[in-house]
Chain A
Amino acid sequence: MKKDYSRRSFIKNISLATFAALALSGCDTEAFDEFLQKNFKTLSKKEKDEIVKNLESKYKKKYGKEFHVSDKPAIDGTLFGYALDLSRCIGCRRCVYACVKENNQSRNPQIHYIEVLQMEKEKGIDFADSNAQYNPEKVPEKGYFYVPVQCQQCRKPQCVTVCPVRATWQEPDGIVVVDYNWCIGCRYCMAACPYGARHFNWGEPTLPVEEINPEMHYLGNRPRKKGVVEKCTFCIQRVREGKYPACVEICPVGARKFGNLLDPDSEIRYILENKRVLVLKQELNFQPKFYYFFGI
């Protein structure tokens, strides 16, 4: 029989094939809902509640544990800022792993939101000569200082500007977040970020079930999937409940400071008003809300 390559038969066959595939896949309406879900910013309260409920039951099914997924909006009158005391940091990397655990980052392939750079005191802040792979018996090493780098939560975030689908934006409290359902994985934001703060899930993320943090936020530490970008959110699931980010809580030297930039009595405001602060790559004018200072 002669093969029919006409346009008509193509349309006919493709329709049949799609329909058959849909029927065979068991018409999973949840997956459809998720696929057709709108951008988080445009969802109504009711829709959000429903999505959060579905996520909780989905995670329970997947991991066999109770989870709480929050969609708590920004608290009025807050703009989060962060300060890190370069004279205190000893480069112990406790923050890196506290962050991984708190934010359910993939263990393999490995994703770290915080990278601690070892720099020579003689050279000052010099990214080109910095070393993230240092691994001596004890830190700090003589003649070196340490600069932990994570998302700088810019006031003018260019990662947001370049996103072609608006899957990432700045919240009213200043946190730059990603809607993992809306991200198409084009990684433009990673190219736009001068701090290397965004990370891509190149493979299916793996999490040890017993280590999953069950307190989640939709825009924060809920499990990601392969092919989406993620980043530090100042632990949005913690800070919107009033708690300090995990890296602040773990730091053994108290080098990490966090607070509300709009509150004149906050620690962060005291630092800005009384210490000499600097931001990384100031010349780019992204205006980070992550300040470095010398407490000594």
Chain B
Amino acid sequence: MKDKFYGDINIPVILMILYIVLFWGCKNKIIENNEVYGGANGKAVNIMTQKAEEYAVEAPPFSDGIFPCTDCHKNLTPNPVRRVLVDWHDDISAMFNHDSENRWCLDCHDFKNRDYLRLASGKLLDFKESYKLCGQCHGEKYRDWKVGVHGKRTGEWNGKKEYLLCVNCHNPHSPIFKELKPEPPPVAQENIK
């Protein structure tokens, strides 16, 4: 038995070849293992000193042919009496539910110059600055929005950001956020194969 064992050279040879093959791949992989992983060798960027830039995205477009308002209104005698509009802007009358009990068109739109909005103070505002008009009632939301907590921001968390205006998400005449169709639910556990 002993003789036979030593006489058989096959096993050590086979094992040797096997190990050579096995470890061929890692022969040049060992060494250099002294680098620290993580922030230590990353580029030093001081986030604290970077001042984030902010950009407003375009306000949503007006309904077709509705602006400038003076195109039609310059020929009309303004009527300051509160009423339900029937011939024109009846679509807005129909949807209007923004404190409709107490407010109507001329609480936000200027009486004399229809191309502008008007703050409670009487100051005229361009339509591009409508968020200031919203802010005079919704002060808390306005504050949150300015720091990026109310509303959506996209872009970079440490740099350029784009933010949406109030009117991008809320229709000013009917501001509640509209319901959406949900995406499909996940596969139920009992249906997993």
Which A residues are within 8 Å of any B CB, using their own CB? Answer: 8, 11-12, 15-16, 18-19, 22, 27, 29, 32-33, 35-36, 38, 40-47, 72-78, 85, 90-94, 96-97, 109-110, 112, 115, 132-140, 171-173, 239, 242-244, 248-249, 251-254, 257-260, 262-267, 270-271, 274-275, 295
Q: Could you list 19 examples of A-B contacts with CB < 8 Å?
A: A15-B14, A18-B18, A22-B22, A36-B29, A44-B33, A47-B29, A73-B39, A74-B42, A76-B43, A90-B179, A93-B185, A96-B186, A112-B186, A115-B186, A133-B186, A138-B180, A172-B39, A242-B156, A270-B147
Residues of B within 8 A of A18 (CB): 18
Residues of A within 8 A of B148 (CB): 257, 267, 270
10 tightest CB-CB pairs across the interface, nearest first?
A254-B152, A32-B25, A93-B183, A138-B179, A15-B14, A242-B156, A172-B38, A73-B42, A44-B32, A267-B148
Q: How far is the CA of A235 from the CA of B169 in the complex (A)?
A: 26
Residues of B within 8 A of A267 (CB): 147-149, 153
Is B45 in the interface zone, CB < 8 Å from A?
yes
Q: How far is the CA of A60 from the CA of B25 in the complex (A)?
A: 22
Q: Identify the stretch in B56-64, B75-83, B157-165 within 8 Å (CB) of chain A at 4 or more residues.
A: B157-165
Residues of B within 8 A of A295 (CB): 144, 149-150
Min CB distance, B20 to chain A, in Å? 10
Whether the pair A254, B164 counts as a contact (CB closer than 8 A) is yes
Given contacts A90-B180, A92-B182, A254-B152, contact A110 B187 (CB under 8 A): yes
Min CB distance, A106 to chain B, in Å? 12
Whether the pair B150, A254 counts as a contact (CB closer than 8 A) is yes
Whether the pair A258, B152 counts as a contact (CB closer than 8 A) is no
Out of A133, A173, A252, which one reaches B39, CB within 8 Å?
Answer: A173
Min CB distance, B174 to chain A, in Å? 16
Nearest A-chain residue to B158, judged by Cβ = A242
Nearest A-chain residue to B42, judged by Cβ = A73
Nearest B-chain residue to A78, judged by Cβ = B47
Residues of B within 8 A of A242 (CB): 156-159
Is B151 in the interface zone, CB < 8 Å from A?
yes
Is B15 in the interface zone, CB < 8 Å from A?
yes
Known A77-B48, A239-B157, A259-B157; 16 more pairs at CB < 8 Å: A15-B18, A27-B21, A36-B26, A36-B29, A42-B37, A43-B37, A73-B39, A73-B41, A75-B42, A85-B149, A93-B183, A115-B186, A138-B180, A254-B152, A267-B147, A274-B149
